[in-house]
Amino acid sequence: MALKEIVEQIVAGLGYDLVEIERSAGGLLRITIDLPWSPPTESDLTEQFITVEDCEKVNRQLQFALEVDAIEYSRLEVSSPGIDRPLRHKQDFERFVGHVIDITLKSPMGVAAAGQVSANRKKFRGTLERVQGDDGTTSWQVVWSDEPAVKPGQRVSKKRVPAPLQALGFTLDELRESRLAPIVSFKGRSDSLGSSSGPETNLV
């Protein structure tokens, strides 16, 4: 059985979602897991996070399964997603609507946003929005402004006209990579940006 199939089977069987599998130099095998997500209800808005115990449970089962199937690695690390959590499935995009994300397209999208986007541009950062079509289909877009960031102590003229918002629509098939933007402040990730899975938990 292939590595991905083994990991997916173990992680799902223990009641978790597989976020990412990475092989690094030196034989490190890093597995990122998360708790299954469903839209929050008014009666339960509390988000739960992956714990060290969750990582330990998956680690033990993976070590046994990988040994049985003779998968080579030197070190196994199971962790929760960090602030740059990858977005891979439709459910991920549903979950993080309203968050700032980074996307990389497989091919240049072409001129967009009233001609203000370079025809060769593939990377974009903006707020993720869901677009519901008249036919009931769902698509996605990122919305951003090229307004320069205000430096600490800088005065902003009330007469200054803010830069217009720009939007780029995309489908999941057009993406090479997409992640939550790793934006933090001294107060942590803001409410508008949210947190993917709380503090990162590693188990080696």
Give the model confidence (pLDDT) of 90-122 as tens digits. 999 999 999 999 999 998 875 454 445 566 789
Res 1: pLDDT: 74
Q: Which residue has the tokens 């997603």?
A: 81
CATH number, domain with residue 28 = 3.30.300
Look at residue 112 and tell me if it is in a domain.
Answer: yes
Band (25; pLDDT cuts 50, 70, 90): confident
Of 88, 29, 69, 50, nearest in space to 196 by CA: 50
Looking at the DSSP assignment, which residues form a beta bridge with residue 127?
Answer: 100, 143
69 and 116 together in one domain: no
Look at residue 77 and tell me if it is in a domain.
Answer: yes
Res 31: pLDDT: 96
94 and 173 together in one domain: yes
Number of structural domains found in the chain = 2
Note the pTM of the prediction, 2 decimals. Answer: 0.74
Cβ-based neighbour number of residue 124 at 10 Å: 22
Look at residue 190 and tell me if it is in a domain.
Answer: no
pLDDT tens-digit map of 61-81: 999 999 999 999 999 999 999
Lowest-pLDDT range, 52-56, 144-148, 156-160, 181-185? 156-160
Res 191: pLDDT: 41
Mean pLDDT value across residues 28-50: 82
Look at residue 124 and tell me if it is in a domain.
Answer: yes
CATH number, domain with residue 152 = 2.30.30
Mean pLDDT value across residues 174-188: 80
Contact indicator for 51, 200 with CB cutoff of 8 Å: no
Domain carrying residue 116: 90-180
Tokens encoding 5: 């199939």
Residue with the bigger pLDDT between 110 and 191: it is 110
Tokens encoding 98: 């309203």
Q: What is the CA radius of gyration of the chain?
A: 20
pLDDT at residue 39 greater than cutoff 70 = yes
Q: Provide the percentage of residues in the chain whose pLDDT is more than 70.
A: 80
32 and 71 together in one domain: yes
95 and 170 together in one domain: yes
